[in-house]
Structure 1
């Protein structure tokens, strides 16, 4: 039976027979993988390997081959149907994700960031999970509460942590504003007001069909028979308090304060968190109840952290209250390093100031990192624009030797891509597919907590279509109706694919070398003639060159380099740390996308201090140590 009231919760009774799964010592030691449950697996694929490495032969979909590309769009009608499918649920579920733990583990993934799992409003296709209607029930489209608990247990049993995507800023489209009480009302039945400082009157909570037929008041919990349909309004019942919502209409200016904090996120209704500055904040009952909700999910499912959506749209005091409540609760049950990472748009300075003031552990690199990483690899931005994001942080008054190794989650191909129009994946242009492993290598082997956006390891080609771009970078991994490469009926759990296999090697190398997880990081100067050195930089808007960097931990230096030229090998002198090496010493190739290079050696020569001459194959990646 679904829980309908917070007062029904007894968190102490949820303790598992043993202890809760402990937190890791350091999150930067781990490699994350983000996925949308609806788009990952429906547990009906054939020809993939299960957790034990045994090939599953039953299932309705086979593995994708190049011949399957565009099989869903043979004519205009098919193409329209394929596009429409991308805006709806396509069938991924929790059991499907559980069945692919082996696929993730063999890739080297040690933490999965799972899209929101909670029940959504009944009348919309919010497959992405950001339109919550019931905070204490798993979305039936994805499975049951027990399915979620089972997923976490099996992930833990195989060395994988689970981070849940959650939403505090808003709920789903749970009520409708009253158009009849507006000055300019004519005949429209739908009223979509924009924020203008003042609350709007509300017609009622929305029923399962999306009509505001439920009174905008709290249901009497003493009379269960009088409860409205549990697919309507919002649950648990405490959230049926009108005072829990700002009721000020949608945001149109996402950079105007207080509009972006008080307004609805499109049709998703804004929660009233409280009032006051960060040090004297008075949390609302709504915020306190949200804290109880997410304590419940920690206790019930044994999850290891949260990714908090739309932190920019919350008061700093509200975020601080929530992070403090979560950390204290987690520590009380033995999860001493619960991860709380926030989606903080608005630039690096805003993100790090927010973390400093609120106690968030890390921020997603939404504003700067994904684009700079992607365009560096494609050879159209200065490498130093990416590497400088991680150090010299005068932003937090720490001088010039602060390194953000555990304060940012780095990834690309993500479905936010703030400011990008159209949104598209790295491989949307086929000419870039050669370089995607380099982007993954840069992501995994530079500072930060690396996160792989699902499908990147299979060269997904999602591209903006101009008619709702998010869907095109949310393709299905399984054999549903909206696969990548405009496909349907085939899945992408192909462990023989070259990018998957090489990425697994790179992640293993990272695991085996502490310098790649925790070391300092330096973009290295290069030279063509061995005499004139400088950082790799754009020339005429393009850089087809070796881009080298070092990771240094104590007395260990690992030298890494990518080649941004997709078609030609490149050779350059590369400077290394003068204090850690001596003239005549050699560095050995520990990894290369050219297998014949592994084990070869290069000698250090007295050039620009000390340098070695590296050759990197077209679109190649090398590691020397």
Structure 2
């Protein structure tokens, strides 16, 4: 993780055993946090990756397995690990609202419970524990901006919500199925921090992807993240659904790279010059603090459901792979949305009421390519941490080198659906490289031809 915190624990608690006939059994090493509200389940995960080392995977439990629940996710942890993933993001797992509802998982009825169709706390704990055993962290989707209309907070604590001049609780943004929370209320702030602590401690999760983070005051996030990072013996990943760099001031680790994604689409769909991605990348990383990073992606649950599949957005399945390679190697933290890695041709729904399930048997060759791309990223310090250099990129071909200490990696990507050529810089002419994906030697001559949407990943020999 990006920071190490020195913690002074003012009280040492007496270890205790929970009787086997109580409702919930905790391991002997459970620890009660200072306010005695929640109990640490299990052992905090010691393998949370550094932010720049993350390969993230977004899971929509509603469609991920035939079971459509958390245990179905758990049963495919080996496949997720084999893809090269080290952080799993679970979309919201809570009971959803029924009043004024459309079936959105982002309309949360109870922040302290798990949707019964997904399972229960023991199912979540088992999923998290087995992910940790495989070296993968797990983060939950936190919806802090709003709640469902039948969340009990509305009747029990109406002052926790924004109200109009007549005292009517207001909708959040233009989403009529959810009610807007009022962070001017200090009691609400305290309660939402308790929600965040609850899942970190009671389920042993490793942080949060914070939905619509820009709708919540930055000073709340500052307070909340500080309290989470003060929990002993624990690293926390905090990922904001926002492109607002002010959220880094609250100690978020990651924000979304929407601007880069938009430019990437223009390159593939409108034949904007591939070399323009350098300008976009430079703007993305302006004023990003050390240790923080930008999430890069070709699709997510919103894009897939409301816009289109990656292969349609980037013209072909080959185009989508070329675009994914750029998001994984050019800079930033890459993310895969479930089904993307097998080239699912459907737009995947995420609202309740669907019977859709991903068919994992399709396109095994696409899956193997995703594995190769992510595997080398995990192995290469140059790809993850290296200094970026433009190697004479053209309108069609993005060509760059990443250098970290003594390791050099060269990547060339044809962003057009036709054959393209690029002149090799004088400094590289005659140099020998290893084609990472084919494990063959390549000698760079005067020019290089790439077929439609093809790419080369070269490591210095």
What range is the shorter-chain TM-score in? 0.7 to 0.9
In structure 2, C-alpha distance between the alignment counterparts of 1:475 and 1:133, rounded to whole Å = 17
Pairwise CA distance, 1:97:
0.7
Partner residue of 1:410? 296
DSSP 3-state at the match of 1:360: coil
Q: Secondary structure at the match of 2:147?
A: coil
Task: Check conservation: 2:263, 2:280, Cα contact below 8 A.
Answer: no
SS at match of 1:113: strand
Matched residue SS, 1:143:
coil
Q: 2:200 aligns with which of 298, 301, 304?
A: 298
Q: Distance in 2 between matches of 1:394 and 1:445?
A: 15
Q: Look up the match of 1:501.
A: 368
TM norm structure 2: 0.82
* 1:38 positional shift: 0.6
1:328 corresponds to which of 230, 242, 264: 230
Is contact 2:252–2:292 with CA below 8 Å preserved after alignment? Answer: no
CA RMSD of aligned residues (A): 3.1
1:27 lines up with 2:51 in the alignment = yes
C-alpha distance after superposition, 1:23-68 (max 9, x if no partner): 535122121111211121133xxxxxxxxxxxxxxxxxxxxxxxxx
**Counterpart secondary structure, 2:413:** strand
Gaps of 5+ in 1: 3-8, 44-91, 175-232, 250-258, 275-282, 346-350, 397-401, 463-471, 484-490, 526-534, 538-544, 605-611
How do residues 517-536 of structure 1 correspond to structure 2 at under 5 angstroms? 517-525=384-392, 535-536=393-394
Contact residue 117 and residue 129 of structure 1 kept, 8 A: yes
The equivalent of 2:434 in structure 1 is 589
Q: Distance in 2 between matches of 1:169 and 1:422?
A: 21
TM-score normalised to structure 1 length: 0.62
Please say if 1:96 is aligned against 2:96: no
Task: Spell out the pairing of 1:246-257 with structure 2 (5 A cutoff).
Answer: 246-248=162-164
Larger radius of gyration: 1
Superposed, which structure 2 residues align to 1:370-385 within 5 Å?
Answer: 370-378=261-269, 380-385=271-276
Maintained 8 Å contact 1:116/1:130: yes
Match status 1:354 vs 2:247: yes
Moved more, 306-315 or 495-504: 495-504
**Given the superposition, is the C-alpha separation of residues 128 and 295 from structure 1 closer, same or farther in structure 2, using an over 3 Å criterion?**
same
Alignment-derived partner of residue 411 in structure 2: 560
Query: Could you tell which deviates more after superposition, 121-130 or 550-559?
Result: 121-130
CA deviation profile, 1:479-499 (whole Å, cap 9, x unmatched): x8335xxxxxxx422386211
- How far apart in 1 are the matches of 2:307 and 2:337? 14
Partners of 1:164 and 1:305 within 8 A in 2: yes
Unpaired segments ≥5 residues, structure 2? 1-22, 25-34
Gap change, CA 1:168 and 1:431, over 3 Å in 2: closer
- After superposition, the Cα gap between the structure-2 partners of 1:404 and 1:559, relative to the gap in structure 1 and judged at 3 Å, is farther
SS in 1 for 2:138: strand
Partner of 1:474: 349
What's the counterpart of residue 621 of structure 1? 455
What is the CA-CA distance between 1:96 and the residue it aligns to?
A: 0.8
Distance change (3 Å), C-alpha of 1:536 and 1:313: same
How many residues get paired?
A: 421
Q: Is the 8 Å Cα contact of residues 524 and 575 (structure 1) preserved in structure 2?
A: yes
TM-aligned CA distance change 1:21 to 1:430, over 3 Å: closer
Query: What corresponds to 1:266 in structure 2?
Result: 176
Other structure's SS at 2:388 match = strand
User: Residues of 2 paired with 1:395 and 1:523: CA distance?
Assistant: 18
Alignment of 1:63-212 (within 5 A): 92-123=68-99, 127-174=103-150
Pick from 369, 383, 408: which aligns with 2:260?
369
The superposition leaves residues 240-290 of structure 1 with CA deviations (integer Å, 9 ceiling, x where unpaired) of 2111111239xxxxxxxxx99x7574331111112xxxxxxxx61011111
